Every structure is written in structure tokens, then in C-alpha cells.
Amino acid sequence: MTVALGFSVKLSILSKSLGRGGSSLYAMGNVMNTTMGRYTFVACFIALGFLAGCDGGSTPAPSGTNRPGPKPAIATAPNTTAAQTSPAAVPVAGNQIDLIKLIDATEHSVAGTWSKVDGGLRSGVGRIHRIRPPVRPQGDYRLSVSFKRLKGNDSMNLILPVGGRQIGFVPGGWPHKGGNISALIQYKNEVFKGNPTVRRDFKIITNTLYHVEATVKIKGQQADIDITLDGQPFIGWSGYIGDLSLPLWGQLGNPKAIGLCTGPNTMIHFEKATLELLGSGKATVASTQQPAAGTGGLLDAKSGTNPSKPGVTPPAAATPGWLGGKPGATQIATRDAPVIKLTNQLPRAISRNFGAGMTFQGKALVKGNKYMVKPPRFPAPTVRVDYVQTPAGMIMARIEISHAQIIEMFGDKENHPDRQKQWWLEGKDATRWYPIGFVLTKKNLTIFINITDTAMKQGKDLPLGSMDSKDRLYVYIPVKAGTHLLALKLGLQPPGDVLLALDLKTDAPATATDPAVTEAPKDPGKPGKPVNTHPLYVALRAAKVELASQLKAAQAKVVAAFDLQITSAKVAHQQKVAELDRQINEVAETGDLDAVKKLIARKKALGAADQSPAVKGLIREKQDFVTQGIVPTTPAMQAAHKQAGELTKPGYEAVISAYEALVSFHTKKLEIEKATSVQDEMKAFIAASGETR
């Protein structure tokens, strides 16, 4: 049996599995997986997640250079829709695939209207159009398109799958910036900043035929992408696949899919679109269920209920967590779409002492507008505020958005016309629910809070000018309990366009509970007071504290193993240098100048020990493990990771035994409601690992 325990930790933890089981960890409110063989651990930051309700924003994983060494395995975005609705994928025969012949202009459209015209494929005019051919390449491939712009002033765009990620190719786009910008986007989660592929010397001429070839080659966790335009080299990039991501406008709902897109208010005619499989590359054809006609949905996701945290329903889409109603069943990428949860919790607890002028009720924030410059990280329990007050009969939805996503939705300038757009959550009965406040968490730890009792409908109501690339914005939308949410929408006015297609029922508890009492049922004789003094509850809390200690010890053991491996790699490097020095001296005695030069060149190529690929790879793995909980990939460190995980085995078993003792105790006293409550909490604890007891 593998079980898991949630912890509040400093950074978001990307999903990474090893062995059979998994552990679900609350990373400031997001449930993510990190496993070590059968037993699990992660860096603890404050206290057990089943005892404390700290919730926070995710931080993008650190990226390397443009041509880095090996990196940890990449968290990819599975095709959740295809997994639930599609027939089995059919392998493609041959290595040349005519995509236009395979495309059904209605069935495969993701956004906008498409049609087959004159043997080609043509978009309509209006919003951004996206279509997803039913072909999924694996490995190396070349996508070739011939296109004309018939109307408008924006670009043709390609969506390229790259080793489980996707990236967009835009030639001659961004007309509001001159219309001469071309790039692969996004690089390290940025469109322009630091992007080595940006060039500003090409404009599309309307009614002119262009031919583009995009060649993608995968080498482990590295990739080469080469773009030619009319037979001439245009853009080339090589680097770590994990540095690639796709802007919100290009989402297809499947990270393995190819996409053909247009810019806004632009009609593109594709005369040809072919896929060529290179080397050992393969492809399958599968029909995936699309959003309802006319919705333009970016993602289709079903949200289950997270049984382990009162008052919190897990993310509806585009974040590691719970999809298809099965806890821990599916993991998808974190950076490509807004994250929606049913929760009223603040991303970070705040102190009433720093909230002059704000209104509080117990641990809830009722109303207020405040900049808090580096408030205390861990407020005292007596002044701690954890969540936003939810009106009676309502459920609070919280949307987490990055700076890049905000730009995609509302533009990058204060006077951008898109700032006038409204956005809302829409229910099955066409009801619309608008934001009533936000919390902006800055990378320098400053917090900007604005919670009101009036709607903030438009982009101009948000603190868009205050956001930087690593900031996170959390927007709160109260929704009537029982509402079946179908979409997050954006537009100048209803009906608007679908940003995210949802299937989210708001029937979870609306208000977060006091973290101090979440582990114990309430005593009917003492309303509002938990049963904290019974020896069995004391034993449960003690077991969780002991498990926390074991998790810390396990992490320390892996870190020590990393340090040992890094030292060994440095010694091995130094031995290679010493051997080359010996050979140089020996050959120099013979007077063979050419041979000496070759040996000196080999020594120079080795470089300093700290810069050797082996050492840099281990240092990077150590950093990713400590900051993100990513399981090591080198065999020696995987073995150390698994061995350290055994340290947590007694702690997990003790916690389960304590839960079982409580269930038995209440059952024997015929306290069925209490027994069921404890049993449900135990099941949540076990389900977090993805296994059953």
C-alpha cells in the first residue's frame, strides 16, 4: 500500500513519477505528485496539509540556457479529452501525409469557421481561427504548408508539438507592432523577452503565395527546430524542450496535436499542408471530440472533487490535479491556461495587523483594498486570515492567471482596446458570474489585495499595469451553489468567446474551514468545537508530526547523496585532466607538435570541473529536486531516492493505523457520522497516492 500526505511547501511541484505509487502534496493549494518507489516524500515548508490550509500561487520552473545539458524529465500535458472520448489511434502508413485530405473542416475546428475551397483549406474572418488536423506525430517530422493571406493584416500561425510540449510559429505577425515580427513562441514562458528566435524583417503581402517548412527533431530532452520560408533558412532553434510553451491563443486541447491558425480578423487560405515523417518518426490518426460548435473552447476538462481539503474543489483545467473525477488520475501542464478552482482561500495567509482599513470576520477577509509590502510569511494564529468571505448560498471560484495570460486576454498596454473586454464564468443555464476582487502576489513577496462587493467586469478593473512576468493574479468570482459551470468567457459583451470549456459543478462546500480543526469531527454537544483531547486524536496528530520528521530526513538523505555524486563527478573530471597533462608531457618529449596540440585541445574542451556536463547535470537535478520535488533521472540518484523513501514507510503506516483506530472507535460507539467523517478523510489521504487500500 502506498499512501500520501499533503504539505504546504514554498514552490509549486511539477508532476514526476517513479515506481508504482505516488504522493499528492499541497503546494500552496495545488495538488501535485512526487513519488519515490512505493513510499513518498517532499521538502516540508511548514506543516502537514491535512492540518494546515496554506494555499499559494505556483512559480514557473527554472529554465536553463538555450543549449543546456540534460534536464529532468518534462511534465507533459496528456490529451484528457481523447483519453475519454476518442477511438483507438490508428498508425499512419507511409511517411507523407496530406493533412488537408484528412481534415474535416467542421469536426476538427477548434475555433472559428473553416471550409474546403478549391482543393485547399480556408479560414473565416473574425477572431483567431484554429484547426487541429487528426494526426499526432511522434518523434522527428517536417510540416510543410503553402498559404496565402486573402484578407486582414495579421499572420498565419503553426502549432508544433515538440516532445510533449507545443510551440507556435508566427511569421510576420503583430500588426500593432509593425507586422514584421517573426518568432517561435513562447521561449521560457516569454514571447519576446530573451527569445533568441525573434526577427523583425519579414512582412506578409496579401494575395502572395508563401511556402513554409518546419522541421522538428527530438534528441532525448533536447530538440532542434528549423523553419524555412520559400526554400530559404528563416528561423532555427536548439535547446531544452522544457523551455517551450504555447500562448493561450494557440491552445488546441491536445499537446501532441499539430495546429493551423490565423491571426485576428485575417483570412488565410492553405493550398497545401503535408506532414513528412523523418527517420524513425511515427504518426497516428485519431478523431478527438471537439468543443460544441461555435464555442472556440481552448481546453475540455472535467473536474472532480478533492476530498482531502474542505472548501476546495481542485482545478478545472490546465493544472496538475484532478481531471475526469479521479483524484490524481491525470496530470497536465501548468503554464498554458488559467487555473480554476472552487476555493475561497487566499494564495497566502495574511495578518490582520497589516490590514488597516480592511474588514475581517474571524479568519475571513470581507472587504478591503491594500498594498502589503513584504508582509510576514507566517502570521500568528490569533491574527491569521486565510480566505475570502463567501456570501450565503454561494460558492467561490478562484482563477489563477499569469502575466503572459493576462497579456493574451487584455493586451499589453494600459490603453489597449482589449482592456474594455469583459470576462465571466457562464453556467449551463446561460447565467453569468463576474469577479468581485483579486489578490496579486508579486515576486518580491508584496501582495496587492482588492476585494469588493461590486462586480469587476472588465480588464481595466484589474491591476494589469502592476504585473511583472513572474507575478500571479488570483481573481475571485462568487457563483450560486448548484450552478453547472460550462465555460470561462471573454468578450466586449455576451455571448463572447470561450477561453476554457468546463464541466464543473459547484456543489462543494463554499467556505474554507479553520485549518486547526479539519482533522477532527465536531462534537455535537459542543457546536463549533473540535474533539482534540481524546487519546486517539492525539495519536493521529502525533503520527502526522512523526511523518513530517521522516519526510525531512528522507529529503536530507537524497541531498547528501547528490553532494556525494557531484563530488565524485568532479574527481573523475580532474582525473581525466590529470591524465591528459601526463600524456601532453609524455608526447612533448617526442617533439611531435601536432600531437601535443591535439591533446591540449582535448584538455581545453574538458574545461573546468564545475562546467563539465556530468557535474552541471547533477547540480541541475539537485536544484530541481529541492525546489520542485522532481524525481532524479540518473540511475545512481534514482536508487538513492528510492532508498531514502523507505524512511517514510513507518510514518505512513502509523498515520493509516491511527485513522483506522479512530474509525473503529466511533463505529463501536455507533457514532456512524463521526466514523464516516474520519473514514472519508483517511480515504482522501490514501487516494492522494493514486492507489486503494
Which CATH number goes with the domain that contains 274? 2.60.120.560
Q: 24 falls in which pLDDT band (50, 70, 90)?
A: very low
| Residue 254 confidence (pLDDT) | 75
Task: Verify that 356 and 488 share a domain, yes or no.
Answer: yes
Residue 224 pLDDT greater than 70, yes or no: yes
Identify whether the C-beta of residue 214 lies closer than 8 Å to the C-beta of residue 142: yes
Which of 514, 544, 567 is the last residue before a domain boundary?
Answer: 514
Identify whether the C-beta of residue 540 lies closer than 8 Å to the C-beta of residue 352: no
Is 180 exposed, middle or buried, given 0-12, 13-18 or 19+ CB atoms closer than 10 A?
Answer: middle
What the block records as the C-alpha cell of 222 is 533536447
Q: What is the mean pLDDT of residues 474-503?
A: 86
Task: Verify that 113 and 247 share a domain, yes or no.
Answer: yes
The parent domain of residue 278 ranges over 80-285
Pairing of strands 165-173, 222-229: unpaired
Residue 99 pLDDT greater than 80, yes or no: yes
Q: Considering only residues 63 and 16, tell me which one the structure prediction assigns the higher pLDDT.
A: 63
Task: Verify that 275 and 348 share a domain, yes or no.
Answer: no
Residues β-bridged to residue 501: 300, 487
Task: Verify that 503 and 523 share a domain, yes or no.
Answer: no
Polymer length in residues for the chain: 693
User: Does residue 292 form part of some domain?
Assistant: no
Q: Considering only residues 295 and 381, tell me which one the structure prediction assigns the higher pLDDT.
A: 381
User: Does residue 198 form part of some domain?
Assistant: yes
Task: Verify that 115 and 137 share a domain, yes or no.
Answer: yes
Residue 544 pLDDT greater than 90, yes or no: no
Task: Verify that 556 and 626 share a domain, yes or no.
Answer: yes
| Residue 18 confidence (pLDDT) | 30
Identify whether the C-beta of residue 652 lies closer than 8 Å to the C-beta of residue 39: yes
Name the domain count of the chain.
3
User: Does residue 483 form part of some domain?
Assistant: yes
Q: What is the mean pLDDT of residues 462-489?
A: 87
Cα distances (Å, whole numbers) of residue 112 to 79, 126, 262, 267, 296: 21, 8, 10, 11, 6
Q: 606 falls in which pLDDT band (50, 70, 90)?
A: confident
Q: Considering only residues 320 and 160, tell me which one the structure prediction assigns the higher pLDDT.
A: 160
Question: Among 41-55, 125-139, 271-285, 403-417, which is the least confidently predicted range?
Answer: 41-55
Question: Among 12-21, 130-139, 562-571, 648-657, which is the least confidently predicted range?
Answer: 12-21
User: Does residue 296 form part of some domain?
Assistant: no
Residue 180 pLDDT greater than 50, yes or no: yes
Identify whether the C-beta of residue 262 lies closer than 8 Å to the C-beta of residue 128: yes
User: Does residue 40 form part of some domain?
Assistant: yes
User: Does residue 243 form part of some domain?
Assistant: yes
Q: Considering only residues 514 and 675, tell me which one the structure prediction assigns the higher pLDDT.
A: 675
Q: 286 falls in which pLDDT band (50, 70, 90)?
A: low
- Average pLDDT of the chain is 74
| Residue 518 confidence (pLDDT) | 35
Residue 212 pLDDT greater than 90, yes or no: yes
Q: 145 falls in which pLDDT band (50, 70, 90)?
A: very high
First-to-last CA distance in the chain? 6
Q: 216 falls in which pLDDT band (50, 70, 90)?
A: very high
Question: Among 243-257, 279-293, 413-427, which is the least confidently predicted range?
Answer: 279-293
Identify whether the C-beta of residue 79 lies closer than 8 Å to the C-beta of residue 255: yes
Task: Verify that 632 and 483 share a domain, yes or no.
Answer: no
Identify whether the C-beta of residue 32 lies closer than 8 Å to the C-beta of residue 25: yes
| Residue 91 confidence (pLDDT) | 52
Residue 44 pLDDT greater than 70, yes or no: no
- Percent of the chain clearing pLDDT 90 (strictly above): 23
Q: 121 falls in which pLDDT band (50, 70, 90)?
A: very high
Task: Verify that 188 and 91 share a domain, yes or no.
Answer: yes
| Residue 636 confidence (pLDDT) | 84
In whole angstroms, what is the distance from residue 572 CA to residue 574 CA? 5
Q: Considering only residues 85 and 443, tell me which one the structure prediction assigns the higher pLDDT.
A: 443
Residue 130 pLDDT greater than 70, yes or no: yes
| Residue 19 confidence (pLDDT) | 31
Q: 279 falls in which pLDDT band (50, 70, 90)?
A: confident
Task: Verify that 534 and 683 share a domain, yes or no.
Answer: yes
In whole angstroms, what is the distance from residue 529 CA to residue 182 CA? 62
| Residue 177 confidence (pLDDT) | 87
pTM over 0.85: no
Task: Verify that 361 and 319 share a domain, yes or no.
Answer: yes
Q: Considering only residues 304 and 377, tell me which one the structure prediction assigns the higher pLDDT.
A: 377
Residue 122 pLDDT greater than 90, yes or no: yes
Task: Verify that 510 and 575 share a domain, yes or no.
Answer: no
Q: What is the mean pLDDT of residues 525-545?
A: 68
User: Does residue 460 form part of some domain?
Assistant: yes
Identify whether the C-beta of residue 539 lies closer than 8 Å to the C-beta of residue 40: no
| Residue 109 confidence (pLDDT) | 87
User: Does residue 466 form part of some domain?
Assistant: yes
Task: Verify that 276 and 313 share a domain, yes or no.
Answer: no
| Residue 549 confidence (pLDDT) | 83
Cβ count near 575 (within 10 Å): 10
Provide the CA 237 distance to its chain's centre, in angstroms: 23
Residues β-bridged to residue 238: 224
| Residue 377 confidence (pLDDT) | 67
- Percent of the chain clearing pLDDT 70 (strictly above): 73
What the block records as the C-alpha cell of 177 is 507592432
Which of 487, 514, 541 is the last residue before a domain boundary?
Answer: 514
Which of 486, 514, 542 is the last residue before a domain boundary?
Answer: 514
Q: 533 falls in which pLDDT band (50, 70, 90)?
A: low
